[in-house]
Amino acid sequence: MIYWNDQNTLKILRSILNDQKVILTSGDTVLGLWGNISSTVFERMNTIKDRHDKPYLMVIGSIDKLPLFIDQPLGEQLETLVQTCWPGPVTLIFKARADLPSWMKSSDGTIALRVPDHLGLLELLRDFDGLFSTSANRHGQPIPESVALVDRLILEQVGAVCVERGQLVYPQNPSTILNCSTGSIEVVRAGVFHVDMLRELLG
């Protein structure tokens, strides 16, 4: 176990991620699994999660990274959304760039992205275009509220566990997911960020 505020933590996590291994850490929502964006890590996360039916959402360090992944103009409404909700617990689904590999996007050509509101993750993301992100549970299992409740098979397959020092319990409510790829904004999953706040923001 390592902790976000320790001196060498970011160096350790960068090394593990660059070795194409998965890490388990706290963040701004649920305990999560994070990995470098590569086909090797994609398959590794599939094995850890015991799922093979859909792509993973990705976290990026800033709005400036969006052109690396999406192929649609933001427009005034989406610009307002990303400027207001990022960094934060809101995942947005966009039309993916056509040249991205299939394991980075869904079968309908979309990609899910967010900027996390967590200083450690944002600092880590300075050295990566983005990271795969998913909750630290196996397919069909509940999201754990503590490291002690994480499935043993997951703990055995990650390169490091990094949490907040002194914090034992973590949220079980994931990010809110909005589909922005169709010309309108649709709620795919209600999460931490309340939909009523989004309605007020966007009208």
Where does residue 20 fall: left (phi above 0), alpha (psi -120 to 50 degrees), or beta otherwise? Answer: left
User: In sequence order, what are the beta bridge partners of 95?
Assistant: 110
Query: What is residue 53's predicted lDDT score, i.e. its pLDDT?
Result: 78
User: In which band, very low, low, confident or very high, does the pLDDT at 201 lie, cut at 50, 70 and 90?
Assistant: confident
pLDDT for 200 equals 76
Query: Counting Cβ atoms within 10 Å, is residue 41 exposed (0-12), middle (13-18) or buried (19+)?
Result: buried
The residue-averaged pLDDT of 1-16 equals 97
Residue 26: pLDDT band with limits 50, 70, 90:
very high
Q: Given this model, what pLDDT does residue 142 score?
A: 95
Q: Which residues contact 67 (CB under 8 A, 6 or more apart)?
A: none
Per-residue CA distances from 94 to 7, 108, 113, 141 (Å): 36, 11, 8, 28
Q: What 3-state class would DSSP assign to 23?
A: strand
Q: How far apart are CA 130 and CA 109, in angstroms?
A: 18
Query: What was the pLDDT predicted at 192?
Result: 80
pLDDT single digits (tens) 48-74: 999 987 899 999 999 999 999 999 988
pLDDT score of 93 more than 90: yes
pLDDT of residue 5: 93
Section 126-147 average pLDDT: 96
Residues 183, 191, 36, 154, CA torsion sign:
negative
Confidence band of 37 (pLDDT split at 50, 70, 90): very high
Task: Evaluate whether 46 touches 52 at the Cβ level (below 8 Å).
Answer: yes
| 36/127 Cα distance (integer angstroms) | 10
Q: Does position 151 have pLDDT exceeding 90, yes or no?
A: yes
Instruction: Output the pTM of the full model.
Output: 0.93
Cα–Cα distance measured from residue 177 to residue 165, given in angstroms and rounded to the nearest whole number: 29
Q: What is the mean pLDDT of the chain?
A: 94
pLDDT class of 203 with cuts at 50, 70, 90: low
Asked whether the predicted pLDDT for residue 190 surpasses 90, the reply is no
Per the model's pLDDT, the better-predicted residue between 160 and 80 turns out to be: 160
